[in-house]
Amino acid sequence: MSRISTPFIIAATLLLATVSVLGTGYTAQQDGEVAAIRFSGHHFTPQTLTVPAGRPLAIKVVNASNETIEFESFKLNREVAMTPGETIRVRLPALSPGSYDFYDDFHQDVPEGVIVAK
C-alpha cells in the first residue's frame, strides 16, 4: 500500500471543501456571509435585503452606474463614496433584528433601501 503525503491530503481536503461550498450555491444564511447590493439605473437592487440577525456579515456594494454615489446608512454607521464601476465590501457586526436603511446621500431622488435582519 502506498503512502499519500500530508501536503497532498491537506490540498485535496481544501479543494473538496471549496468545491462543496461553490457547488451548493453559497447563500446569505451562512456565517461570514456576503450579500450583494447593486446600484444602477439610479436605484439600488435589491431595494430590500433580508439577512439573518445575530451573525456578522459583509455586504458587497457594486456601483454599476456612470456616476459617483455615496452608500450611506446612519443606523449602520457607514458612509462610503464610490466612483463609477467601483465595488466595496461593507463589513457589519451581528445585527439585532430590525430594519436598517441605506441611501445614496449624493442623490436625494434615489429611493432608499433597507436591510432587514430577521
Domain limits of the chain?
27-117
pLDDT at 34: 83
Give me the mean pLDDT over the 75-97 stretch: 96
Mean pLDDT score of the chain, rounded to an integer? 82
Q: Are 79 and 108 in contact (CB under 8 A)?
A: no
Fold of 27-117: Immunoglobulin-like (2.60.40)
Express each pLDDT in 18-59 by its tens digit: 333 333 333 344 445 689 999 999 999 999 999 999 999 999
Residue written as grid cell 436605484 = 43
> H-type helices in 1-118, by residue range?
6-23
CA distance 66 to 49: 23
3-class SS of residue 102: strand
Give me the mean pLDDT over the 56-84 stretch: 97
